[in-house]
Chains A and B, each alone.
Chain A
Amino acid sequence: MGISMVQAILLGLFACLASLPGMGGTTVGNYTLGRPLVGGLIVGLILGDIQTGIIVGAAIQLVYIALVTPGGTVSADVRAVTYIGIPLAILAIRAQGLDPSSEAASGLAASLGAAVGTLGTVLFYGTATLNLVWQGIGWKAMDGGNWATIKKTIPMVDFVLPWISHIAFSFIPTVVICLAGESMVGLMKDYLPMDGVAMKTLFTVGSLLPAVGIAILCKQVVQKPLDWVTFAFGFILAAVMGCNLICSAVIAVFFALINFKIEQLKLMRPAAAAAGDADFDDEEEEDI
C-alpha cells in the first residue's frame, strides 16, 4: 500500500504549517504540529494507521526531543522529519513486515527520520531565503511612508506571502518524496537483506541516535562538570531504582525546591544589607 495523491497533498499542507518558520505559528505550528509525536498521530490519521503512526512518531521524537527553538540561534527544522520521515518509516516498516511496536521498527524509524532530517535543514534555508523577497516588499512599503499602503502590506508580508515560500520548499518536496516513497522502500527491501551489514548498521544507528537528542539537552543544562552528577542521579533513579519518568520528575522537583530555598537565602543576605536605604519591599526588613 502506497501513498495516494490526496494523502500526499494533506501531508504537504501539514508540512507547510509545521515547519520552523511555519504557517501554523510557533506554538501551534512548530511546537505542536511539528513534533514527531503529534505528527505521528496526524500522519497515522492521514494514512489510516494511527497506531503505527504514533509508535513511529514516538521513536523519531526521541531523536528530536531537544529540538527547541533556541532564542539566539536556529537549529534544524522538523517539517521533513515529521511529514516526510514518518510516512516513509511507516511504508518501510510495512514493507519489511516488522512488528510496529518492536525495537527494530523504532530503530528503523529513527534512522530514516534522521536521514530525512538533514533535508529539513536545506528546506529551512530555502524558505528563509525566499522570505527575504517578501521582506523586501515590506521594507519598500515602510520606506514609501504611505500609511494606507503600510497597513495593507505588513500583514500581507508576515501572514500571506510566506505561503509561497512554503509551497516551494515544504509542500512540493513533501508531496514528491512521499509519492516516490513506495518504490524507494521497495528497492531497499530487495537490495538490502536484514542480516547484511547495511541493515544491521541502519538499525544500530537507530539505537544510537537518541543519544544525540539527549546530548543536545545536556549541552543546554550541563554548565560545569559537577552537573554530570545531577544527570547521573536522574539516570540512576530510572536505571537502578526503577523510577518511571513521572516519579523521577517529582523527586527532581523536590530537590529543586530545596535548591531554590538555599539560593534565596544566599540572595537575602546582601539584599537585606542593601535594603537599609532602598525601598525594597522585603518582609525580612525588620530583622536588621
Chain B
Amino acid sequence: MADLKKVSQGARNSAFLRWIYGNLTCFSQEHMQTFGYLAAMLPVVDELYDTDAEKVQALSTYRTFFNTEPQIGTMVVGLTVGLEEARANGEPLDDDTINGIRAGLMGPLAGLGDSIIVGTFIPILLIALGLSTGGSVLGPLFYVIAWNVAMYFGMKFAFDQGYELGGSAVEALVGPQSAALRDSIVLVGTMVIGAVAATWINITTALSFQFSADSGLVLQDTLDSIFPKFLNIFFVWLCWYLMTKRKMSPTVVMGLLVIVALVGVLLGFFDPGLSY
C-alpha cells in the first residue's frame, strides 16, 4: 500500500488559496461559484492523475452548479479534495456520489454559514463602529484585522477538517448538535441587534401641542415615558413587517420610507431643525 496517492501540501494550499480568493470572482447568476470551484480543484486533479484524459474527466465532475456561503463552503472544497484523493486511489466514488454530497451540503452550509457570519461579522463590525466614534481610525483598523484573521484561520480550519475527516466532519456541522449551537448563536445575534437598534438609530418626532399657556404635550417626551426610544423599535418592526409579511424588497421599503419622511415633514412630525 506504499504507492497510495496523496495530495501534496502544496497542491492543497493552492486549492485553498484559489478558493478563498476566487470563489466569487467570476460570478454569474447562472453558474454562481462553479468557476471558483473548478479553478480550486484544478491543481489537485492535475497532481492526482497521470493522463490528460483522466484529468479532464475528473475535473468535469465539478462542472455541476455550486453555490453556498463561500467562506464556510471552504469545508466542501476541502472535503472534495479528500474525496478526489480517495477516488484516485481506486475507491468506488462516481461523479454522482461526489456531486450528491456537494449538493446535499450546499443548502445546510449556506444556512449555517449565514448564521455564523451574522454571529461573527456583525459583532466585529459593531465593536468597530463603536471604536470609530468621532472618526477614529481605530474602528476600521480593528475590523480589518479582526475579521481577516478570524476568517483566514476559520477557513483554513474548515478546509483541513473537510479534507481530513471527509463526510463525517460535515455531518457534525449540520447534525443536531449544530442546531443547538446555531440556536445559541442566533440568540446572541438577536439580543445584540436589539441593543444596536437602541444605540445606533435615532428617530425622534418634533411634534408638540400647546393646549394653553402652561400646559402642552411634547410627543417625544410622552413616547419616552411609555417606552424609551419607542420610534426606533417601531420603525424596525415596521420595516421587518413589510419585508417578511408583505414580501417587499429592501429597496421598496427604502422608497416607502422616503414617502413616510416626506409626509412626516409636511405634517410637522419630523423636523431635523437644520439651517445653513
Which residues of chain A have a CB within 8 Å of any CB of chain B? 20-23, 25-28, 30-32, 35, 37-38, 40-41, 50-55, 57-58, 61-62, 65-66, 68-72, 74-76, 96-97, 100-101, 103-104, 107, 114, 118, 121, 125, 127-129, 131-132, 134-135, 138-139, 142, 145-148, 150-151, 154-155, 157-159, 161-162, 193-195, 197, 199-201, 203-205, 207-212, 214-222, 227-228, 230-240, 243-246, 248-249, 251-253, 255-257, 259-260, 263-264, 266-267, 271
Which residues of chain B have a CB within 8 Å of any CB of chain A? 18, 20-31, 34-36, 38-39, 42, 46, 52-53, 55-56, 59-60, 63, 67-73, 106-107, 109-111, 113-115, 117-118, 121-123, 125-130, 132-137, 139-141, 143-144, 147-148, 151-152, 155, 176-177, 179-181, 183-204, 228-229, 232-233, 235-240, 243-244, 250-251, 253-254, 257-258, 260-262, 264-266, 270-272, 274-276
In whole angstroms, how far apart are the Cα atoms of A241 and B213 in the complex? 35
* B107 contact set on A, CB distance < 8 A: 71-72
Q: Which residue of chain A has its CB nearest to the CB of B59?
A: A150
A-B contacts, 27 of them at CB < 8 A, read A21-B26, A27-B151, A35-B143, A54-B137, A57-B140, A62-B129, A65-B122, A70-B110, A71-B73, A135-B34, A142-B56, A147-B52, A147-B55, A150-B42, A195-B274, A200-B271, A208-B260, A221-B190, A234-B197, A238-B198, A239-B198, A245-B127, A252-B195, A259-B184, A259-B187, A260-B180, A263-B180
Q: Which of A30, A55, A207, A219 contacts B272 (CB 8 A)?
A: A207
Q: Are B35 and A157 in contact (CB under 8 A)?
A: yes
Q: Are B194 and A26 in contact (CB under 8 A)?
A: no
In whole angstroms, how far apart are the Cα atoms of A60 and B67 in the complex? 29
B42 to chain A minimum Cβ distance, whole angstroms, is 6
In whole angstroms, how far apart are the Cα atoms of A231 and B188 in the complex? 10
A275 to chain B minimum Cβ distance, whole angstroms, is 13
Known pairs A25-B21, A245-B130; A208 contacts B70 (CB<8 A): no
B62 to chain A minimum Cβ distance, whole angstroms, is 10
Known pairs A35-B125, A200-B265, A222-B190; A52 contacts B118 (CB<8 A): no
A82 to chain B minimum Cβ distance, whole angstroms, is 12
Q: Which of A121, A155, A161, A195 contacts B251 (CB 8 A)?
A: A121
* A75 contact set on B, CB distance < 8 A: 250
* A125 contact set on B, CB distance < 8 A: 29
A-B complex: 10 closest residue pairs judged by Cβ atoms: A71-B110, A234-B194, A21-B27, A51-B135, A215-B239, A263-B180, A234-B191, A248-B195, A239-B198, A252-B191
Contacts A50-B137, A255-B187 known; 10 new A-B pairs at CB < 8 A: A23-B25, A54-B135, A58-B132, A68-B117, A71-B73, A134-B26, A154-B35, A234-B196, A239-B232, A249-B126
Q: Are A230 and B190 in contact (CB under 8 A)?
A: yes
* A27 contact set on B, CB distance < 8 A: 20, 71, 147-148, 151-152, 155
Q: What does DSSP make chain B's interface, helix, strand, loop or mixed?
A: helix
Q: Which of A28, A51, A200, A215 has the most CB of B within 10 A?
A: A215
Q: Are A128 and B29 in contact (CB under 8 A)?
A: yes
A159 to chain B minimum Cβ distance, whole angstroms, is 6
In whole angstroms, how far apart are the Cα atoms of A194 and B274 in the complex? 6
Q: Are B262 and A201 in contact (CB under 8 A)?
A: yes
* B21 contact set on A, CB distance < 8 A: 25, 28, 159
Q: Are A38 and B276 in contact (CB under 8 A)?
A: no
Q: Which of B26, B46, B237 has the most CB of A within 10 A?
A: B26
* A20 contact set on B, CB distance < 8 A: 24, 27
In whole angstroms, how far apart are the Cα atoms of A8 and B107 in the complex? 40
* B144 contact set on A, CB distance < 8 A: 32, 38
In whole angstroms, how far apart are the Cα atoms of A284 and B201 in the complex? 48
In whole angstroms, how far apart are the Cα atoms of A228 and B238 in the complex? 13
In whole angstroms, how far apart are the Cα atoms of A32 and B147 in the complex? 8
Q: Which of A205, A215, A248 contacts B243 (CB 8 A)?
A: A215
A92 to chain B minimum Cβ distance, whole angstroms, is 13
Q: Which residue of chain B has its CB nearest to the CB of A254?
A: B188
Q: Are B197 and A231 in contact (CB under 8 A)?
A: yes
B148 to chain A minimum Cβ distance, whole angstroms, is 6
Q: Are A114 and B194 in contact (CB under 8 A)?
A: no
Q: Are A220 and B129 in contact (CB under 8 A)?
A: no
Known pairs A214-B193, A238-B194; A114 contacts B118 (CB<8 A): no
B210 to chain A minimum Cβ distance, whole angstroms, is 21
Q: Which of A69, A76, A235 contacts B69 (CB 8 A)?
A: A69
Q: Which of A134, A222, A245, A271 has the most CB of B within 10 A?
A: A245
